[in-house]
Amino acid sequence: MTKTSNLIVEQARTWLGTAFHHQGRIKGIGCDCLGLIVGVADELNLKDKDGIRLSSYDEINYSKEPDSNHLTAKLMSILIEVPTSEIEPGDIGLFLINNNPQHLAIISNYGGKRGIIHSEARARKVVEHYFDEEWNERLTKVFRWQV
């Protein structure tokens, strides 16, 4: 792992236990899967190739089942898409929920294996667990921060 990917995973772990809250963006209070990504980017002051803070691209005008085409296009315009076979800790995974690519997670190293950190509605909080076969089958795209 690179120094930056280590920092991303470590920072994401500081959000563990934060309650799930649709469109939330506050560590320890509430966030959704996008809020976790935005929060980590903001806390680490991550920027795009033009020096613009990644958190400035945030949008909160989405439904509980967001427009997957808009989400995917936005991610592709800001981040670097990498083949799913090249996934690494610190990357962002885009996952299918109800057959639509609409869920985001930060890839981690968990217990010596691949894991994911995400705000999960079923768990009602930010969790980290193994990147098991169920999640692997849902993975549609992988993005890397432009740092």
- Is the pLDDT assigned to residue 41 strictly greater than 90? yes
The total of structural domains in the chain comes to 1
Q: What is the pTM of this model?
A: 0.95
Look up the domain containing 121 and give its range: 3-144
Q: What is the pLDDT of residues 89-131, one digit of tens each?
A: 999 999 999 999 999 999 999 999 999 999 999 999 999 999 9
pLDDT at 50 (0 to 100): 86
pLDDT at 64: 86
27: CATH: 3.90.1720.10
Per-residue pLDDT tens over the stretch 6-35:
999 999 999 999 999 999 999 999 999 999
Q: What is the pLDDT of residue 89?
A: 97
68: closest CA among 96, 93, 41? 96
pLDDT band at 1 (very low <50, low <70, confident <90, very high): low
Q: Which residues of 111-143 are buried (b: 16+ CB within 10 A; e: fewer)?
A: eeebbbbbbbeeeebbbbbebeeebeebbebbb
